[in-house]
Structure 1
Amino acid sequence: MPVKILADSACDLPKSFYEEKHVYLFPLKVEINEQEYEDVKTIDPKTVYDAIRSGVVPKTSQASPLLFEEVFTEMAEKNEDGIYIAFSSELSGTYSTAVMILDQVKEKYPNFQLTIVDTKCASLGFGLVVQEAARLASNNAAKEKILEDVLFRSQHMEHIFTVEDLDYLAKGGRVSKASAFLGGLLNIKPILNMEDGKLVPIEKIRGKKKVYRRLIEIINERGSNLQEQVIGISHADNEGSALEVKAMIEEEFHPKEIYISSIGSAIGAHTGPGTISIFFLNQLSS
Structure 2
Amino acid sequence: MTRVKIVTDSTADIPNSLAEELDITVIPLKVNFSADETYLDGIELSPTAFYEKLQQANQMPTTSQPSPYDFEKLYNEIYDESEEDTVIFSIHLSSKLSGTYQAATIAASEVEDKINVHVIDSKRASYSIGIIVADVAKLAIEGADQKAIQDRIDVLLNETSVYFMVETLEYLQKNGRIGKAQALIGSLLKMKPILSLSKEGEVYPFEKARGRKKAIDKIVETLQETYKDQPVDIGLSHAVAPEVGDTVLEEIKARLNTQSTVKTEIGAVIGTHVGPGTVAVMVTPTKA
TM-score with structure 1 setting the length: 0.89
Structure 1 residue 182: Cα displacement = 5.3
Contact 2:68–2:103 (8 Å) recurs in 1: yes
C-alpha contact 2:13 2:126 (8 A) present in aligned 1 = yes
Give the corresponding residue for 1:66.
Answer: 69
The equivalent residue for 1:86 is: 92
Q: CA offsets per residue over residues 96-117 of structure 1, 9 Å max, x none?
A: 11111111223xxx24212111
Structure 1 residue 181, shift from structure 2 partner: 5.3
- Paired residue for 1:204? 208
Unmatched segments (≥5 aa) in structure 2: none
SS at match of 1:48: helix
Q: What is the alpha-carbon distance in structure 1 between the residues aligned to residue 233 and residue 251 of structure 2?
A: 15
SS of the aligned residue for 1:201 comes to strand
The answer for the alignment partner of 2:39 in structure 1 is 37
Separation in 1 of the partners of 2:259 and 2:76?
Answer: 40
Equivalent residue runs for 1:123-162 within 5 Å? 123-162=126-165
Structure 1, gaps ≥5 residues long: none
Percent identity over the alignment is 32
- Distance in 2 of aligned mates of 1:224 and 1:40: 36
Query: What's the CA shift for 1:27?
Result: 0.6
Paired residue secondary structure (2:72):
helix
Distance 1:130 1:216 in 2: 23
Q: Deviations over 1:168-198 (max 9, x none)?
A: 233234255x955553xx3221111111211
Q: 2:86 is paired with a residue of what secondary structure?
A: coil
Report the CA distance between 1:139 and its aligned residue: 0.7
Q: Secondary structure at the match of 2:280?
A: strand
Give the AA of the match of 1:19.
E
Q: Which amino acid aligns with 2:240?
A: D
* Cα displacement (A) at 1:69: 1.5
Matched residue SS, 1:128: helix
- Pairing partner for 1:103 from 109, 124, 144: 109
CA distance in 2, matches of 1:254, 1:32: 43
Greater Cα offset, 246-255 or 265-274:
246-255
Contact 2:234–2:262 (CA<8 Å) still a contact in 1?
Answer: yes
- Structure-1 residue corresponding to 2:3: 2
Matched, 1:216 2:217: no
Whole-angstrom distance in 1 between the partners of 2:160 and 2:222: 13
Contact 1:60/1:266, CA 8 A, preserved across alignment: yes
Quote the residue 1:246 is aligned against: 249
SS of 1:164 mapped into structure 2: coil
Deviation at 1:224, TM superposition (A): 4.9
RMSD: 2.2
Q: Give the whole-Å Cα distance in 1 for the aligned partners of 2:282 and 2:204.
A: 15
Larger mean CA deviation between 54-63 and 94-103 belongs to 54-63
Shift of 1:222: 2.5
Q: What code does the residue aligned with 2:3 have?
A: P
Tell me if 1:21 matches 2:25: no
1:234 Cα deviation from its structure 2 partner: 0.8
CA contact (8 A) 2:12 2:125 kept: yes
* d(CA) in 2 for partners of 1:168, 1:99: 28
- Once residues 47 and 58 of structure 1 are traced to their aligned partners in structure 2, the CA distance between those partners, rounded to angstroms, is 14
Conservation of the 8 A alpha-carbon contact between 2:234 and 2:282? yes
**C-alpha offsets along residues 157-177 of structure 1, whole Å, 9 cap, x if unaligned?**
11111101232233234255x
Partners of 1:111 and 1:224 lie apart in 2 by 45
Q: 119-128 or 215-224, which moves further after superposition? A: 215-224
Provide the TM-score with structure 2 as the length reference.
Answer: 0.88
Q: Aligned partners of 2:42 and 2:123: how far apart in 1?
A: 21
Distance 2:20 2:184 in 1: 42
